[in-house]
Chains A and B, each alone.
Chain A
Amino acid sequence: MLSGGAAGLATAGLAGCGLFGDGDPELPPAPDPLQPLADEALALAAAYDRAAAADPALATRFTPLAADHREHAAELAAVIGRTAAASASAAAPTGDGTLAGFRAAEKTAMTNAVSACKATTTERAGLVGSIAACRATHIEALR
């Protein structure tokens, strides 16, 4: 530990400005601001799959919605530059499996996407805006 610290100091001193970060501990890369949208999309897709499996009568209604969310996750992963499943957490609210529950979950998801669209870059605004609009159409489709 002592020698490691000394080596770090020495490296920084030799390099002059630590440009190469040799002495720094490995910092995890900051999560992309769009990562929560991708996680949310995968969580919703999985929730629709579970609900459709539990009640096949809902499958025709839910399957296209799940497919939309998976397309969002794939597109976001491409923009973020990570694989879609890499950091998918199941933390996003996905409702209780009922129509009303999914409407509420889509509404939350839409609000999150609207905020993300406002905050994002010029290059990403179109994609995030389309995702927000799609989530709004899901609320309508669940009426």
Chain B
Amino acid sequence: MSDQVASALAAEEAAIYAYGVIGVKLSAKAEVAEARGAEQEHRERRDWLIGKLAESSATPGPAPAGYELPFAVADRATALELAIHIEDGVAQSWRPVLGATRDADRSTALAALTDSAVRAVRWRRLAAVTPLTMAFPGRAS
């Protein structure tokens, strides 16, 4: 399960970094609060994954000092677009963990996938992107 966990960890690290950039471009109180809450949840998932890697005595690679964003974030619109992109990506990174885990660990992985999918819906609504949902969150499109 180490490979799947390491991939999810990389996605969570990237999400934490991205929300730092996203938050700066948002000003509406509700949107800033949403971004802060999301970042906090991604930190908690990251810590859980680090714990799992430690249990399996695999050492995670050092977090890269900087991340390459998929596109430039210049304003609210691109910040929302990045938030959607990030949550879809995190959901995709957790899906393989489901098949690599059982019981409580699988439940945690499913909760992480689901939370990202639900946040992606909220960001799509704020960005007025339709459709709000997709049939298979976590499956690469």
A→B interface (CB under 8 Å): 64-65, 67-68, 71-72, 75, 114, 117-118, 122-123, 125-127, 129-134, 136-138, 140-141
B135 engages A125 (CB within 8 Å): no
Whether B96 contacts A137 by the Cβ 8 Å rule is no
20 other A-B residue contacts (CB within 8 Å) besides A118-B103, A132-B114, A136-B117: A64-B131, A64-B132, A64-B133, A67-B135, A114-B107, A123-B99, A125-B99, A125-B106, A129-B98, A129-B109, A130-B113, A130-B135, A133-B110, A133-B117, A134-B133, A137-B118, A137-B120, A138-B133, A140-B132, A141-B133
* Docked-complex contact A132 and B110, CB < 8 angstroms: yes
B contact face: mostly helix, strand, loop, or mixed: helix
- Subset of 8 A-B contacts with CB under 8 Å: A64-B131, A68-B133, A71-B135, A118-B103, A125-B98, A129-B95, A134-B117, A134-B137
Task: Give the CA-CA distance A126 to B98 in the complex, in Å.
Answer: 6
B110 with A114: CB separation less than 8 A: yes
Known: A118-B107, A136-B117, A140-B122. A130 touches B138 (CB 8 A): yes
Q: List residues of chain A with CB within 8 A of the CB of B138.
A: 126, 129-130, 133
